[in-house]
Structures are given as structure tokens and as C-alpha cells.
Amino acid sequence: MGISVEGANKRFGDFQALDDVSIDVPDGSLTALLGPSGSGKSTLLRAIAGLEDLDSGQVTINGEDATGKPAQKRGVGFVFQHYAAFKHMTVYDNVAFGLKIRKWDKAKISTRVHELLQLVQLDGLAGRYPSQLSGGQRQRMALARALAVEPQVLLLDEPFGALDAKVRKDLRTWLRRLHEEMHVTTIFVTHDQEEAMDVAGQLVVMNEGRVEQSGTADELYEQPATEFVMSFVGEVNRLGESYVRPHDMSVALDRDEGAEEAMVQRIVALGFEIRVEFVLADGTEVWAQLTRAELQKLELREGQIVYLRPGQTKSFNGDVPSPDGHGASTPHGPPDDDDAEVSAAV
Amino acid sequence: MGANPASRWGLRVLGLGYLTMLLLIPLVMIFYKTFEDGIGPPLDAITSPDGLHALKLTLLMVVIAVPLNTIFGVACALLLVRRKSKANPVIDAIINLPFAVSPVVIGLSLFLLYGTSGWFAFLGENGIEILFSVPGMVLASIFVSLPFVVRETVPVLQEIGTDQEMAASTLGANGWQTFWKITLPSIRWGVAYGIVLTTARVLGEFGAVTIVSGSISGQTQTLPLFVEKQYANFNSTGAYGASLVLALLALITLFAMNLLKRKEDA
């Protein structure tokens, strides 16, 4: 049950948008497809919806092979980044569209539409046209429209991408609550790792048409399988062959065995968090994330010489031990360079 | 820029003067000349059997050519915008041909094709008259007015994009339902403008129709041909009267579209 994609390939001219992608989304889950632009996440979502034909591969929705089916028969609800509101119809007619296509009778449509408009908090705006709504309202209308036909799965393509930061945060919380109530299998695409971690229980990280890793937010942050995942799901410093998170950098004033000598270049106060930038003897630039209290204790000044000790480090090309010995390398071992098939069980 | 009132007024005078000289004065002159001797003479000319026949024939051209070119134009625009193909630039160029080629040439080409030694001469030999009769005139009218709906619809289709159509399909609509409920309502003003231009073009068509029709009074004479014949026969009042009727028909078309649009916006 749920959604599964097996060995999906899609090429646009010279560009390999999907390179042998397989994912498995369990029934009733809320999963994020996370990746930079051009990573193939939107193409994968559209292939699941039937809006894009795959060159090869299989799409299964709730146990049924959907590969050759047209979008209209897949029973998916799709929400577009730019709302795709039917501009010549009122909010009511937008939401009623799928029900009218299914030839419901008028009274039933009216009940259902008002139910949904209440759910998305647009009940008073049924008679408005999309041009009279704000971006957030339009996207909630689009969501109500997608939910009206009781889809087996709900697919959202960068649903909050065109909204401003405040509205985006509100809708995020709201989507998570909605999913808790409805329990419809949901996949949403985003390039924002914070948004993905905030909303989704499961994440699939994509890069260059392939799945890099999938798992919970914690798993991806604590045990990234590749350097791409490590740098995409959080901040990272590179020290030679190994990587370390800025909050895992400890700063000492006294010379210390195994610690790196560094000069304080800049101190930036970002509210609670303090960002301290260093330059190492070999010219490498790194930074550490400190609390206000830590900074006050150390009394750091720009130009000062300090000693840096990376805590947990990770390396992805063979085993480079961390200086203090307990730093783990990747739990999955070094990944194959030609990991053509990354099967990701979410 | 633009702050200098002298240059602003200068531009206005220049623009309005240009329009007045080229468009307004000639039209006012026709109006004036038509009613110089009262309403009688022009009315007689238009209500003469030949005049009425010409009016009917012109309207018949509109009634046949405009719907055909509208259906063709919308289908063709959909093909050009929604189905990417290597043949599209070629199709696009062919559609522009009627704009590029003089109507007289179009008339001649039809003449060659359907004439006694043309490829389709067998139609005439089997009793299906094309030249010097209504079918040939309809063909000529369709030919010269073909690009308008396509040209007006293509940019609108490009602008609306495919998101709404895809949304409709995920909601269960098939291609036909999506076209009628989503695409057509979204492009309606582009299509409407194309229809107005097509109508105006068919109403005023002269060159191609002259050649294929032979301009036989009371048989194959549309209003523009009637105007020309009246003028050639020194019945200038009749010519002006018929011209005025032509101008009115075009105005009514424009006015009808504006009325529909205003009703929609209200």
C-alpha cells in the first residue's frame, strides 16, 4: 500500500532528470522530497501524478500499477506551486470542479464544498474570484479543491514556495495538523530543509536525479550517508577529508594536543546564536556556532589566536579517524560512487 | 522625459493630426457625400435588388468563413502551443502566408487551381461550380482571413500556461472537458478578438474575391464589389451608401464584442 516507484528514468534532451530512482512511501505517511533545484524531485512527483511520462520504471499507487494510466484516472490530488487556480471560476466553483466532473448532485456538492471551505478556513469567501484572494488563501483553496475528490494520495509541488516567510510558516503548521486529521498518504516537494524537517515525518533527499538517502530528520542529520546529505540538511565545515558541524567545534584558549591553531576573523551575533569565523594556519576558513554564554566565558576578540577541536567528524571517502578518536564515520560505510540504484525505504 | 509640456502637446497634436488626416477625414467625407442629396439616393442604391443581393452575399461569406476559421484557428493554435513538434515553425510560416501574399495573387492561384486547365477542373466538369460562383468566393474569403484567430489565440495560450489544464486533469477531467471548461474560457477574449478581425476582413475582402467571382451583378457580387461597380458606373452616391453600410457592419461587430466583455466584467 502507499506509493512506490521502481527504477524510474526520465530524460529531457541531454538532461537526466531521473536516474533509476526507487522510493517507497508507506500508507498514510507524510513524506518530503527534498533537494536543490534540478535534483529531479518535481519530475518524480509529476510522474507519480501522471503529469509526466517516465521513459522507464513503474509507479504503484495503493497496490495498483498506475504506470500507464492518465492523470485523470490515478485518484491523486495535486497542488501546484503557483496554485493553478481556475481564474474564471469562483472559489466555490474551483472546489466543486472535480465533483461536477464526477456528476454529483447539486445538494451533495454544496454540502461537501462548504465542509471543505470550512476546513481550509475560507468559508466566507465562496463567492470570490481567485484574483481577489491572497497567495495563502489561493493555496488553501487549491488544497480544498484537491481534497474534494477524496484522493488516494495528496501530492504537493513546492506548495509554499511562492508565499512570504510568515504565511509559509503558518501554512506549514496547518498542513501538518491537516495531515494528522486526514491521514491521506502525502508527498510534498521542497528545497527548504527546515520546512521538510518541520512538516514531514520522513524525508527523501534527492540530488542530480538520484536518491541520496531517506529517513527521519534525525537519521539524516545524525547519520548522513553522503557528503551531499551532510551539507544539505545542515551547516558544515570541511577539514581536509572530514566534515564537522559548526556546533560540534569546541574552542579553547590554551594550546592543546591535537587541536588546530586558528585565528578569530569575525564574530557575528545572530540573536541567541553566535557565529565565530576562523582562519586556520593553512588558510582554510571554518566557523563555529557558540552560545552567548560560551562567547562571554571565552572573551574572544577578532585577531585572537585560539585552538579548535572538532567534536564529531564524518568522512565519506574511506576512514579518516577523527582527532579525538570517537568521531564516527558514516554508518553505512563509504557509498559507491556509481550507486546507480539507491533503494530508499522510507 | 515627458515633463516638458511643449513636447507633450507637440506629440499629441502630431499623433491626432496623423490619425485625422489619414482615417477620420476620409470617413467623414464618405458620410458627408452619402447624404449630400438627402437620404433618398443612397437608400435606393442599397435597397435595389443588386444592392440587397450583395449585402446578403457578404453576410453569407461571414457566416461560413468566420466559424470555419474560428474552429480551425483555435485547433491550430492548440497544436502550435501545446504539442511541441519540429514541424511547428513550418506550420507557423504557412499560416502567415495570407498576410504576406497579396489577395489578388491568392485569387489568381485559386483561379489556376479550379480553372479549366487546373488540377481540380474535374469538379466543374461534373457540375460542381467553384469559379464565378459562391463556393469559390467562400474559398477566397477563408483563405485571406485564415491567420487572425490563430495569431490572436497563440499568445494567450502561451500566457495561461498548462498548470490549470493539468490541475483539471488530476481532478478527473478528460481532454474534452478540460478544453471546454478550462482552456476555452481562459482564451475567450483572444479568440473573440480574432473573430472580430476575421469578420472585418471577410466583410471588406475585395482582391481575391474579385478574381474568382467575376463580379456578376445580382449573382456573385459582394458589397465591396458592388461599391466598386457603382463607382465605375458613375453612381457615386450608391457607392458611398454601400460603403457606409460596410463600415456600419464592422462597427456593429466591434460594438457587440465590447458589449459582451462589459457584461462579463460587471
Q: Please indicate if any CB of chain B lies within 8 Å of the CB of A45.
A: no
Asked if A97 lies within 8 A of B171 by C-beta distance, the reply is yes
Q: Please indicate if any CB of chain B lies within 8 Å of the CB of A162.
A: no
Asked if A101 lies within 8 A of B177 by C-beta distance, the reply is yes
Dump pLDDT digits (tens) for B113-138: 888 888 888 887 788 888 888 999 99
The Cα of B211 is separated from the nearest Cα of chain A by a number of Å equal to 45
Q: Higher pLDDT residue, A99 or A336?
A: A99
Q: Of B85, B82, B83, B215, which is closest to residue B156 (Cα–Cα)?
A: B82
Q: What is the pTM of this model?
A: 0.81
Asked if B167 lies within 8 A of A80 by C-beta distance, the reply is yes
Partners of residue B168 in chain A, C-beta under 8 Å: 86, 97
The Cα of B5 is separated from the nearest Cα of chain A by a number of Å equal to 38
pLDDT band at A322 (very low <50, low <70, confident <90, very high): very low
In which element (H, E) is residue A73 found?
A: none
Whether A326 has a pLDDT exceeding 80, the answer reads no
Dump pLDDT digits (tens) for A46-94: 999 999 999 999 999 999 999 989 999 999 999 999 999 999 999 999 9
Whether A330 has a pLDDT exceeding 80, the answer reads no
pLDDT of residue B36: 83
Whether B240 has a pLDDT exceeding 90, the answer reads no
Q: Please indicate if any CB of chain A lies within 8 Å of the CB of B184.
A: no
Whether A333 has a pLDDT exceeding 70, the answer reads no
What's the rounded Cα separation, in Å, for the pair B145 and B204?
A: 10
Q: Of A220, A244, A217, A257, which is closest to residue A310 (Cα–Cα)?
A: A244
pLDDT of residue B125: 79
Partners of residue A51 in chain B, C-beta under 8 Å: 166, 169-170
Q: Of A268, A209, A208, A198, which is closest to residue A233 (Cα–Cα)?
A: A198
pLDDT of residue B45: 82
SS3 A246: helix
Of B172, B177, B182, the CB nearest to A86: B182
Dump pLDDT digits (tens) for B163-216: 999 999 999 999 999 999 999 999 999 999 999 999 999 999 999 999 999 888
Whether A339 has a pLDDT exceeding 70, the answer reads no
Dump pLDDT digits (tens) for A149-192: 999 999 999 998 888 888 888 889 889 998 998 889 999 999 99
Q: Higher pLDDT residue, A256 or A293?
A: A293
Q: Please indicate if any CB of chain A lies within 8 Å of the CB of B82.
A: no
In which element (H, E) is residue A145 found?
A: helix A135-148
Partners of residue A148 in chain B, C-beta under 8 Å: 171
Q: Distances in Å between the alpha carbon of A302 and those of A14, A252, B53?
A: 49, 15, 97
What's the rounded Cα separation, in Å, for the pair B131 and B129?
A: 6
pLDDT band at A293 (very low <50, low <70, confident <90, very high): confident
pLDDT band at B266 (very low <50, low <70, confident <90, very high): low
pLDDT of residue B131: 84
Whether A254 has a pLDDT exceeding 60, the answer reads yes
Partners of residue B184 in chain A, C-beta under 8 Å: none
Query: What pairing do the DSSP bridges indicate for beta strands A15-25 and A342-345?
Result: parallel
Give the mean pLDDT of chain A.
87
Q: Please indicate if any CB of chain B lies within 8 Å of the CB of A53.
A: no
The Cα of A53 is separated from the nearest Cα of chain B by a number of Å equal to 13
pLDDT of residue A109: 96
pLDDT band at A215 (very low <50, low <70, confident <90, very high): very high
The Cα of B94 is separated from the nearest Cα of chain A by a number of Å equal to 28
pLDDT of residue B74: 97
Asked if A97 lies within 8 A of B169 by C-beta distance, the reply is no
Q: Please indicate if any CB of chain A lies within 8 Å of the CB of B261.
A: no
Partners of residue B192 in chain A, C-beta under 8 Å: none
Q: Which residues contact A238 (CB under 8 A, 6 or more apart)?
A: A284, A286
pLDDT of residue B116: 80
In which element (H, E) is residue A326 found?
A: none
Dump pLDDT digits (tens) for B137-150: 999 999 999 999 99
CB-facing half-sphere around the CA of A220: CA atoms within 13 A: 31
DSSP string, B195-242: HHHHHHHHHH--HHHHHHH---TTTS--HHHHHHHHHHTT-HHHHHHH
Q: Please indicate if any CB of chain A lies within 8 Å of the CB of B170.
A: yes
Probe site for chain B from A78, A95, A145, A154 (most B CB atoms < 10 A): A78
B157: its cell numbers: 495560450
pLDDT of residue A332: 40
Q: Higher pLDDT residue, A8 or A183?
A: A8
Whether A8 has a pLDDT exceeding 90, the answer reads yes
Query: Longest C-alpha distance within chain B, in Å?
Result: 72
Probe site for chain B from A43, A51, A72, A153 (most B CB atoms < 10 A): A72
Asked if A72 lies within 8 A of B163 by C-beta distance, the reply is no
Q: Higher pLDDT residue, A251 or A129?
A: A129
**Percent of chain A scored above 90 by pLDDT?**
60
- Which bin fits B215, alpha (ψ -120 to 50), beta or left (φ > 0)? left
- Which bin fits B234, alpha (ψ -120 to 50), beta or left (φ > 0)? left
Handedness of CA B40, B46, B50, B53 (dihedral sign): negative
**Residue of chain A whose alpha carbon sits nearest to that of B187:** A88
**Residue of chain A whose alpha carbon sits nearest to that of B163:** A84
Asked if A72 lies within 8 A of B172 by C-beta distance, the reply is yes
Partners of residue B174 in chain A, C-beta under 8 Å: 72
What is the C-alpha radius of gyration for chain A, rounded to an integer number of angstroms? 24
DSSP string, B70-104: HHHHHHHHHHHHHS--TTHHHHHHHHHHHHHS-HH
pLDDT band at B260 (very low <50, low <70, confident <90, very high): confident
Asked if B166 lies within 8 A of A84 by C-beta distance, the reply is yes
Q: Please indicate if any CB of chain B lies within 8 Å of the CB of A72.
A: yes
pLDDT band at A117 (very low <50, low <70, confident <90, very high): very high
Query: What pairing do the DSSP bridges indicate for beta strands A285-291 and A64-65?
Result: unpaired
Q: What is the arithmetic mean of pLDDT over A227-236? A: 89
Dump pLDDT digits (tens) for A27-44: 999 999 999 999 999 999
pLDDT of residue A341: 36
Q: Which residues contact B134 (CB under 8 A, 6 or more apart)?
A: B57, B60, B220
pLDDT of residue B31: 84
The Cα of A43 is separated from the nearest Cα of chain B by a number of Å equal to 14
Dump pLDDT digits (tens) for B54-113: 999 999 999 999 999 999 999 999 999 998 889 999 999 999 999 999 999 999 999 888
What's the rounded Cα separation, in Å, for the pair B64 and B138?
A: 7
pLDDT band at B52 (very low <50, low <70, confident <90, very high): very high
Q: Please indicate if any CB of chain B lies within 8 Å of the CB of A228.
A: no
DSSP string, A89-141: S-HHHHHHHHHHHTT--HHHHHHHHHHHHHHTT-GGGTT--GGGS-HHHHHHH
